Amino acid sequence: MLSTAKEMMSAAKKGGYAVGAFNIENMEMAQAVVFAAEEMESAVILQTTPSTVRYAGIKLLGRMLSALAEEAKVPVAVHLDHGADLAMVEKAANAGYSSIMIDGSRLDFEKNITLTKQAAKICSVLGIPLEAELGAVGGKEDDAVSGGLQYTDPGEAGEFVRRTGVFSLAVGIGTSHGIYSGPPKLDIARVGLIAKTVEIPLVLHGTSGVPEADVSACINQGICKVNYATDLRLEFTKGVKEAISESPDAYDPKIYLSAGRERVKQAVKRRIFVCNNKFNADYF
């Protein structure tokens, strides 16, 4: 069933768990996320980044993902991750996205507030929850390369939320997009400090490669949405490469694309388990 991130994240905040949010690149990866969520009986968020939007087209993605969500047996939100500008926000809303992020984290504090406030007005009229980012997640996300980690200041977070009216906030605590060169060093306590300052749900970006124990600790401190992207890309690629290696003469794309889909499904199931520990500990 097509839902909004507002419904599921509000429930997660109240219940002390997190919703898994997964970036997809194609139909097979999107199916894998939904199939995993149905098997785990858990709400889930399908996400696309600006580069995926440019590659496939936002109307096509919006209609495809909305169709998957509508037919799903569990709540599924369709989310624009790292929306670059107001034009993209409006296009996503018109394409059927039920959740949107505007990313002004590379701007200074006041300019970030201005951009986010404008996006919040657009989304408010349409009844779509808006996520914003304060501080900066490191690494590379699509075409944008971070200038370095910027930790979210709890005091600034309170002011930012009051002045913008956003529904959820992505925070900087030491995570990075892409592949980590070594174990990330997270300021997990900062999540708790921010959670005491603002009442809205908090979001963790750059989670691929973060130890499961650290993810759980962040959730215990107040994270309500956990984003995964690189992990899924790696798993899909492994599945396709293995299938082609095992059957080099195969010419039907369904053979190797379905192999990638299966690997992503298993990876998503594990991450849903980490986000939502209501499941029995020996599920896996």
pTM of the model: 0.91
Percent of all residues in the chain with a pLDDT value above 90, rounded to a whole number: 84
143 is catalytic: no
- 31 phi/psi in degrees, rounded to 5: -60, -40
Structure confidence at residue 142 (pLDDT):
56
Q: Write out pLDDT tens, residues 84-128.
A: 999 999 999 999 999 999 999 989 999 999 999 999 999 999 999
Please, are residues 134 and 105 in contact by the beta-carbon 8 Å criterion?
yes
From the candidates 81, 103, 153, 231, which is the catalytic residue? 81
Residues 6+ apart with CB under 8 A from 178: 139, 140, 141, 206, 208, 230
pLDDT tens-place string over residues 155-177: 999 999 999 999 999 999 988 76
**Residue 279: pLDDT band by 50, 70, 90 thresholds?**
very low
Mean pLDDT score of the chain, rounded to an integer? 91
pLDDT at residue 144 tops 80: no
Q: Which residues contact 266 (CB under 8 A, 6 or more apart)?
A: 36, 235
pLDDT digits (tens, 9 = 90+) for 178-235: 665 567 789 999 999 999 999 999 999 988 889 999 999 999 999 999 999 999 999 9
Q: Which CATH number fits domain 5-230+269-275: 1.10.3720.10, 3.40.50.300, 3.20.20.70, 3.40.50.150?
A: 3.20.20.70
Per-residue pLDDT of 16-70, as tens digits, reads 999 999 999 999 999 999 999 999 999 999 999 999 999 999 999 999 999 999 9
Measured CA distances, 175 to 136, 215, 284 (Å): 9, 11, 26
Alpha-carbon distance 82 to 85, whole Å? 9
Strands 202-204 vs 176-177: parallel, antiparallel or unpaired: unpaired
